């Protein structure tokens, strides 16, 4: 019976620095075919910076499959496309080994063993498992909130206990005080107040801004076409974008703004854009 393979890829928008998803996928499928294995699942994340390992959707799915022992091999293109630090790699390898699951790198086509990790991350990062880029070892950051990707204003991270009674950070919840400010911003704008005036009111009242500075109209207004700025972030109506996908997941528990209030804001934005057009 062929080994069941879960392929994990981390996509990069800059193909000059690291291979894009298509290239990683191509090499992985070719390697799986050469080995006579069977690809049963592909997990994918976006390269969005320094983020807690378990907070990434693709990694979260990978760990679920590991817990269920539904695969025999976890395959990545190069080790750095899976784990960015020695401590993360060592912990993952320990968990895989406990479940009888192997970890392989399609380039250069080797099984990754614990003894290889020091050589890759600390001694000779160019060989045998990577492409020459060195990311220095950090403290174990699997469960530390300060390493998480910054959330939109109105939300905070919390954690939960897994089946092994380990407390895992990486879950997004409402921040009640900030959520009230978000709702107020939407209401003030829908009622006719400009982003600049809203920012002035919040600063006058001493309301903390998203980045601990002063409120600016650009923070509120943003860019509608890019979905930036508080007034354009669809997370506030419960649409949660998952890295690696081109669509939104619905997360009703994260909703702050009603559909009616969102519609009023969009109508006013559209009217303002038409009025500003030549």
pLDDT value, residue 139: 34
Residue 42 phi, psi dihedral angles, 5° rounding: -120, 125
Indicate the burial class of 37 (C-beta count within 10 angstroms; 0-12, 13-18, 19 or more): middle
Mean pLDDT of the 119-124 span: 61
pLDDT value, residue 108: 81
pLDDT value, residue 275: 74
Domains of the chain: 4-123 (3.40.50.1390), 174-276 (3.90.1750)
Q: Is the pLDDT of residue 200 over 80?
A: yes
Q: Given CA atoms 241, 245, 250, 253 in this order, what sign does their dihedral have?
A: negative
Q: Are 248 and 268 in contact (CB under 8 A)?
A: no
Residue 46 phi, psi dihedral angles, 5° rounding: -90, 150
Which of the four pLDDT bands, split at 50, 70 and 90, describes residue 187? very high
Q: Are 229 and 222 in contact (CB under 8 A)?
A: yes
Average pLDDT, the chain: 80
Q: Express each pLDDT in 40-81 by its tens digit.
A: 999 988 776 556 777 788 888 999 999 999 999 999 998 888
Q: Are 257 and 232 in contact (CB under 8 A)?
A: no
Cα–Cα dist 191/186, whole Å: 9
Cα–Cα dist 98/265, whole Å: 52
pLDDT value, residue 75: 96
Question: pTM of the prediction?
Answer: 0.50
């Amino acid at each position: 019976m062929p080994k069941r393979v879960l392929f994990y890829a981390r996509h990069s928008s800059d193909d000059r620095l690291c291979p894009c998803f298509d290239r990683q996928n191509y090499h992985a499928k070719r390697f799986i075919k050469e080995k006579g294995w069977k690809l049963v699942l592909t997990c994918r994340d976006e390269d969005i910076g320094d983020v807690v390992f378990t907070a990434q959707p693709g990694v979260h799915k990978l760990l679920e499959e590991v817990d269920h022992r539904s695969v025999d091999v976890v395959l990545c293109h190069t080790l750095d496309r899976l784990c960015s630090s020695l401590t993360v790699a060592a912990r993952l390898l320990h968990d895989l080994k406990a479940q009888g699951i192997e970890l392989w790198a399609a380039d250069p086509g080797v099984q990754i063993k614990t003894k290889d990790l020091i050589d890759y991350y600390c001694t000779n990062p160019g060989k045998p498992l990577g492409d020459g880029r060195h990311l220095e070892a950090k403290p174990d950051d699997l469960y530390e909130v300060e390493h998480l990707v910054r959330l939109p204003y109105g939300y905070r991270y919390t954690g939960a206990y897994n089946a092994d009674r380990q407390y895992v950070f990486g879950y997004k919840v409402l921040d009640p005080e900030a959520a009230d400010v978000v709702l107020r911003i939407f209401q003030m704008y829908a009622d006719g107040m400009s982003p600049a005036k809203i920012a002035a009111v919040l600063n006058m009242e001493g309301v903390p801004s998203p980045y601990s500075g002063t409120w600016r109209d650009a923070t509120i207004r943003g860019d509608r076409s890019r979905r930036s700025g508080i007034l354009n972030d669809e997370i506030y109506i419960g649409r949660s974008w998952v890295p690696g996908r081109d669509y939104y997941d619905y997360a009703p528990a994260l909703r702050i703004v009603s559909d009616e209030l969102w519609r009023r804001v969009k109508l006013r934005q559209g009217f303002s854009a038409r009025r500003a057009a030549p």
